[in-house]
Amino acid sequence: MSLVLATDDTGGPEIFASIQGEGPSMGVPVAFMRLSRCNLACVWCDTAYTWHFEGDNRPHRSGEFFDRKANQVTLEEAEVAERILALGQNRLVITGGEPLLQAAALAKLLDLLPDISVEVETNGTTKATTALDIRIDQFNVSPKLAHSGNPVDLALIPERLDTYATDPRAFFKFVIAEPSDVDEVLALHERYRFRPGHVFLMPEGTDSDTLRTREKWLADLCLEHGFRMSDRLHIHLFGDTRGT
């Protein structure tokens, strides 16, 4: 068994140390591992190189297609564990793509990392296996709203959202491009009764100017509805780049 990872700008696996830029752990120093492949296709996705490969006709606003061989690397779990440990961090963020598509291999990897705490970023359409679930300390669940371009029956699966909504480890992070997007969040909140303090609104954007402009009106909406707001610190610090 092995893991399929995204690549950094050198063609190596996208495993790196940085600060968490989003959500409840924003500002915490962590090790990151980005896996390849996704079961959804967000038109504004800022990691389209993990899924928008040549031959994939799902839309993306850039219109760019990526060569699969150049943007994927397959490694054994032992080598991945060695690379993560070499970063010297005590918390690991597993992101993608959709990382839970590789749940069995992830469980094997984490067996090799018994002393590290684990944060998983997921779109909320799938779930961890039992062997993986017992090792996860935090889920950052990002259900996709209509402006993502995903069909609702694929993006918002009631059984999955019901499970995450009742899990105290799960935090919900909604990408917001327009003020009206918050209406969808309110409808989902009414349906699933997310835990107080576990809902974040985050502006969509891959540059600081766009994020700051949207945060000005997003802050008011957070105040009005009692949601938390997430910035995207890595964009301000490093721009829209891999391995950061």
Q: Are 96 and 38 in contact (CB under 8 A)?
A: yes
Statement: residue 169 has pLDDT above 90: yes
- Position 94 pLDDT exceeds 90: yes
Residue 193 assigned to a binding site: no
Span 210-239, pLDDT tens digits: 999 999 999 999 999 999 999 999 999 999
**Do the annotations mark residue 134 as ligand-binding?**
no
Whether the per-residue pLDDT at 1 is higher than 90: the answer is: no
Read off the pLDDT band of 152 (50, 70, 90): very high
Within 13 Å of residue 72, how many CA atoms lie on the same side as its CB?
Answer: 19
CATH code of 214's domain: 3.20.20.70
- DSSP E strand stretches across the chain: 2-6, 15-19, 29-34, 72-76, 91-95, 117-122, 138-141, 170-176, 199-203, 228-229
Does 222 carry a binding-site annotation? no
* Residue 206 annotated in ligand binding: no
Q: How is residue 227 written in tokens?
A: 């949601």
pLDDT tens-digit profile of 15-59? 999 999 999 999 999 999 999 999 999 999 999 999 999 999 999
User: Measuring CA to CA, which residue among 191, 189, 176, 190 is closest to residue 146?
Assistant: 176
Residue 80: the pLDDT is 98
Residue 44 annotated in ligand binding: yes
- Full-model pTM: 0.97
Residue 11 belongs to domain spanning: 2-238
| pLDDT above 70 as % of the chain | 100
Q: d(Cα 231, Cα 112) in Å, to the nearest integer?
A: 32
How many domains does the chain fold into?
A: 1
Say if 211 falls within a structural domain: yes
In a domain, 222, yes or no: yes
Mean pLDDT for the chain? 98
Higher-pLDDT residue of 99 and 1 is: 99
Q: Is residue 217 part of a domain?
A: yes
Q: In this structure, what is the dihedral angle of CA atoms 133, 91, 240, 155, given to the nearest 10 degrees? A: 10
127 annotated as ligand-binding: no
Is 243 contained in some domain?
no
Q: According to the annotation, is 173 in a ligand binding site?
A: no
What is the rounded radius of gyration, in angstroms, for the C-alpha atoms of the chain? 17
Task: Decide if 244 is inside a domain.
Answer: no
